[in-house]
Structures are given as C-alpha cells and as structure tokens.
Amino acid sequence: MNPPLHRFRFSAPLLAWCAISLTAITQGQDTLRDAATGTKASLASPAASTVSNPEDQEDLFLNEFMNYEIQRQKNWKLRLFAAGSWRYDSNVFLRSSNIQSDVMWSARPGFQYSYGDEAAKLQLLADYSAQFNFFEKFDSQNSLNQFLSLSMNYRMKKTSIKLGGRFNDVTGGDLDVGGQAQRVQFSPSMQVLHELTAKVQIGITGQVQQSHYNALLSSTTWRYGLFADYAFSPQFRLGVQFNEMIQEVQGSGRQTGEDFLVRVEWAAFKKLSLTGTAGVHLLHTVSAGDTTLPVGTLGFKYEVGPKTSVYVNLYARSQNSPSLSGQYFQSEGVLFGIQQQVGSKTSIGADFGYDFSEYHTYLSGLASTRKDHVRFIRPWLKYTLHRHLALELFYQHTVNSSIGGGAQPFTRDLIGAGLTSSW
C-alpha cells in the first residue's frame, strides 16, 4: 500500500482519540456499564477497513492511489455508511423477575467527514449516525437514537487549539435505572497546547459534561485545569495535570472537587502503546464531608502480529445517580479484548469486562448501600462479503449482581446479526 495513503487514513481517528482522551477525564461514555446495556444495536463494532480478495488487490491499489491523489488536492474526505441489524434480547427491561424478551430491528445511517491531516494547520472531524429502533412486541419502546462527535485542531508554530465534543440522544437500557431510560448527554471540551521547548509542553483544558434524564435526575459538571508534559524520548512522554471541578446535581445542590493526575503517552516497538491519565479526585460534598476517589482512563494496545491484536482499557470515575436522589456511584472497570483475522475475509474476536460500582451520598444522614458487580462476555465474528459490505454476528451474556438499597440485579443475553455498508 502507498505509505502516504496509509498515513492519511488514520490521521482523523487518531486526532479524535487524542482530542477526547487527553482533555476529558470522565467524558468517555463508552465505559463497560454503557457497553453492557447494548444501547447501540450492534455490539461488535464494524471493522475500520474491509479486506478484499487477493485477486482484487491490483485494482484496489490503483483505486486507492487515485483516491489519495484526489484527497491530496481537495484536502477533505467524506465516508458514508449504513447498517441494518436484528437483535434478540432476553431481558429488555433489565429485571430480575417478570422478565420480558423481544426482538429489535435497527437501521443506522451515518457519515464521517474529515478535513486536513496531522500536518495541516486546520484539521476537522465530524462523525454522525442516527439509529432507528423497532421492537416486535413492545412497540412503545421504538426510538430514534443519535450519536454525534466533533473535533477541531488548529495548529500554529508552537501553539495548538483543540476543540471537541460529543452529543448523544439515547433511549435504551441503563444499569443505574434498571430498565429503559431516555437521556441526552452533551460533552464539549477544549485544550490549548503550547510547546515551551523541544521537550516540554504546557496547556490548559476545559470541559462541560451535561446529562439530562427524562423524568429522572440530571446533572452538569464543569472541569478546567492546567497540565505540563515532558518528552523523555520520541516514544515516551510523561506529565502532570490539575483540574478544578464544579458539579450541579438536581436535588443535591452543588459539589466541588480537584483532580491530581499523571499523564502518559508511550509507544514501543511500533506494536505496543499506552496512553491516558491516572490519579485521584478530591470530592467536597454538600454535607457528607470530603472523600478521595481514584480517577482516570488508561488504554493499552498490543499488536501481537500482523493479524492479531489485544487491548486492555482501565477506567475509574464517579457519576451522579439519575435514579437515587442524593447519591452518586464510583466505578472502577476493566475491558479486555482480542481480535484475530482468519484468511482474507474473516475476523473473529471476543471482549470481556468487569465493573464494580459502589454508591455514596452527597448528603449527611442519607444511607447509601448499593453495590453493582457487572460482568460480560461478548464473542463476535465479521465476514467481508464485498469491499463495501460486511456481515457481523455477535452474542453477549451480561450479569449484574446488584445488592443494597435500590439494587437492580439482572441477567441478560443478546444475540444478533447485522450488515454494514460503507463507501
């Protein structure tokens, strides 16, 4: 493959990852608790690029080379995609008794737009999809879910400005609520980075996290902070970050806090990478006193071979409870996955996850005893039918061993199939 084309393809996703992961401490919505509820119709994400038959390689190379030349001239790229899926859900409402099953059909069109590359002065990325869900028995649960992410990077000689944001309008399972819930999540973020020397960079960050639940408890969190990084080598960068936090919670008033974080970016042997933040959060509640909580996100990826990859994601965060007034939960979780390409058209893989969430209170005199232990396993298979068409099969088994006041225990199985087309 032509090397410049290879670099262009991956610059936009890399920008989105950096803009979001390094400027947001708790922004990532796709944690294990979210994945376990299966909000998105298809739980095994479509492959980033499809695999063609060997006899098509010459035509494919010429086509890609021409596309690269066009992209180099116009400096933008538009990718359209559409997915359709069928899913059997053994426990639609996430209950421990009176369990109801149903079949859901989904259609999900969308697009990805990128402008510029990692060397451009201005780089933009927009990713949007609309998911139409239709249930066979419980048609009152039919919904339209929307997912939007935006990022912009403006580079000057030694200073860059990154703006990013996510907007999700979702109706689906919620572990805290213990059933279906409608919520809107909006998370804009900003980072200003300045290269002080060849090895030292400093910056400021800002972020807003807003979660609005229909007929439940909503919250808004503001974070702003400072950071400094030092490059020990081109492959290893280490830094520190400090954030101030202000949080308004419906029915619980205002909380404040501080984050003390270590930042790390490490890439070794072109196959191994580690990136993210880790530290502690000092939370000052309305009347329940102060507490110290772990916080951060760390992503590890290892390319075992040209056809095999492994990832591990660790996270710790606190989040307001939308169902229990005056309470929040602290979550620590790990996601582990492996992917293997078999032949020229097939990829198989499996994801595993565990999350422990313990509930606490913002208010003195209020008891909080709930604890959630969430585990899931998710094997999947993807098969390339055509250069622009892929088939996907998946199964997921989820168990939530929830105990205490307001507990929502359940066991759930999801089985599904989907077709994804992109061009």
For residue 50, pLDDT over 60 is answered with no
- Cα gap 379→403, rounded to integer Å: 28
Task: Give the pLDDT confidence of 313-367 residue by residue, as tens digits.
Answer: 999 999 999 999 999 999 999 999 999 999 889 999 999 999 999 999 999 989 8
pLDDT over 90, % of the chain: 70
Question: Under 8 Å CB-to-CB from 383, ≥6 apart: which residues?
Answer: 345, 346, 390, 391, 392
pLDDT of residue 1: 36
Once rounded to an integer, what is the mean pLDDT over residues 157-179? 92
Once rounded to an integer, what is the mean pLDDT over residues 363-387? 92
pLDDT of residue 203: 97
14 confidence band (pLDDT: 50, 70, 90):
very low
Q: Which CATH number belongs to the domain containing residue 310 in this structure? A: 2.40.160
Residues of the domain holding 75: 3-422
pTM: 0.82
Closest C-alpha to 106, from 411, 407, 400, 392: 392
Q: Output the six-digit token pair for 96.
A: 């421990």
Once rounded to an integer, what is the mean pLDDT over residues 4-18? 33
- Which of the given ranges, 19-23, 30-34, 191-195, 301-305, has the highest pLDDT on average? 191-195
How far from each other are the two terminal CA atoms of the chain, in whole angstroms? 19
20 confidence band (pLDDT: 50, 70, 90):
very low
Closest C-alpha to 340, from 313, 300, 310, 384: 310
pLDDT of residue 58: 40
- In three-state secondary structure terms, 206 is strand
Once rounded to an integer, what is the mean pLDDT over residues 135-159? 94
Name the residue with higher pLDDT: 24 or 172: 172
pLDDT of residue 74: 64
For residue 276, pLDDT over 90 is answered with yes
pLDDT of residue 198: 93
The per-residue DSSP string of 207-240 comes to: EEEEEEETTS--EEEEEEEEEEEEEEETTEEEEE
pLDDT of residue 72: 53
- Cα gap 163→345, rounded to integer Å: 37
Once rounded to an integer, what is the mean pLDDT over residues 36-49? 53
Once rounded to an integer, what is the mean pLDDT over residues 142-162? 95
Percent helix / strand / coil, the chain, rounded to 5: 10, 60, 25
Once rounded to an integer, what is the mean pLDDT over residues 112-141? 92
For residue 231, pLDDT over 50 is answered with yes
387 confidence band (pLDDT: 50, 70, 90):
confident
Once rounded to an integer, what is the mean pLDDT over residues 160-166? 96
The total number of structural domains that make up the chain:
1
Mean pLDDT of the chain: 85
pLDDT of residue 30: 53
Task: Give the pLDDT confidence of 57-113 residue by residue, as tens digits.
Answer: 344 444 454 455 445 556 889 999 999 999 999 999 999 999 999 999 999 999 999
